[in-house]
Structures are given as C-alpha cells and as structure tokens.
C-alpha cells in the first residue's frame, strides 16, 4: 500500500466520522436550528474530507476538478437550503 492509499483511507475515514457525527446530531439535537447546525457543518466538512481522500486516486486532472466542483456545489446548495429551512422554522416559531 502506497502513501497515497494511506492518505486516501485516512481522509475518507475521517469524512465518514463527520457524517456519522452529523447523523447522530440530526437524531439527538432538540430543535430545528441545532439539527441544521449538526447536519450542514458535518456534511460539508465530511464530504470535503471524502473528496480530498479521493483526489489522489483520480487518473486525470479533469476528474479531480469535477470532484472539487461537486463539493463546491453541494456547499452552496446545503448552505442555501439550510438558511431557507431555518428561516421557515423561525417564521413558524414566531407565528405560533
């Protein structure tokens, strides 16, 4: 096993831990805002680590750039939707 493979395994495993922590947070935290906090923070970082782990394994620069693009688009999407969900939850709390 090369140093490259060890790096990949370590990064992907670290990413998986973040996903696990985020899922536990989603299930255990008491309200919408803290659950969103758990989900978006850990998923963004977790996916970033998984992408970082996969980068040494790609066979072309283009494939690597696509992986990074996937991560950036997910960052944008999850940051945006979590804001929308939080806003809807706050509106509901104020109305109630």
Partner 1 sequence: MTLLLTVGIAALIVALAIWTIVARDTMAAVIGFATFGLILTLAWVRLFGVDIALTEAAIGGGLTGALLIGAAAHLRKTEIAAHADRVGMSTRICAALLSASVTVVLVFCVLALPDPAPTLASQVAANIAVTEVGNPITAVLLAFRAMDTMLEAIVLVFALIGVWSLAPDNAWGGRPGLRHSADPNGILAYLARVLPPIGIIVGLYIFWVGADHPGGKFQGATIIAAMWLLVIMAGLADAPPISRKWLRIGLAGGPLAFIAVGAYGAFAAGAFLAYPVGFAKPLIIVIELALMPTLALVLALMLLGAPQRAIK
Q: Which residues of 4-34 are buried (b: 16+ CB within 10 A; e: fewer)?
A: eeeebeebbebbeebbeebeebbeeeeebee
Q: Residue 19 in contact with residue 2, Cβ under 8 Å?
A: no
Pick the closer one to partner 1 by CB: 3 or 60. 60
* Residue 87 binds partner 1, judged by CB under 8 A: yes
Q: How far is the CB of 36 from partner 1 (least distance, A)?
A: 13
* Residue 92 binds partner 1, judged by CB under 8 A: no
* Residue 84 binds partner 1, judged by CB under 8 A: yes
* Residue 34 binds partner 1, judged by CB under 8 A: no
């Amino acid at each position: 096993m090369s140093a490259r493979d060890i790096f990949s395994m370590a990064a992907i495993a670290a990413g998986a831990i973040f996903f696990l922590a985020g899922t536990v947070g989603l299930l255990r935290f008491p309200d919408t805002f803290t659950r969103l906090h758990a989900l978006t923070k850990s998923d963004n970082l977790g996916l970033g680590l998984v992408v970082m782990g996969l980068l040494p394994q790609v066979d072309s620069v283009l494939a690597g750039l696509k992986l990074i693009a996937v991560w950036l688009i997910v960052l944008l999407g999850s940051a945006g939707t979590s804001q929308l969900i939080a806003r809807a939850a706050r509106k509901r709390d104020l109305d109630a």
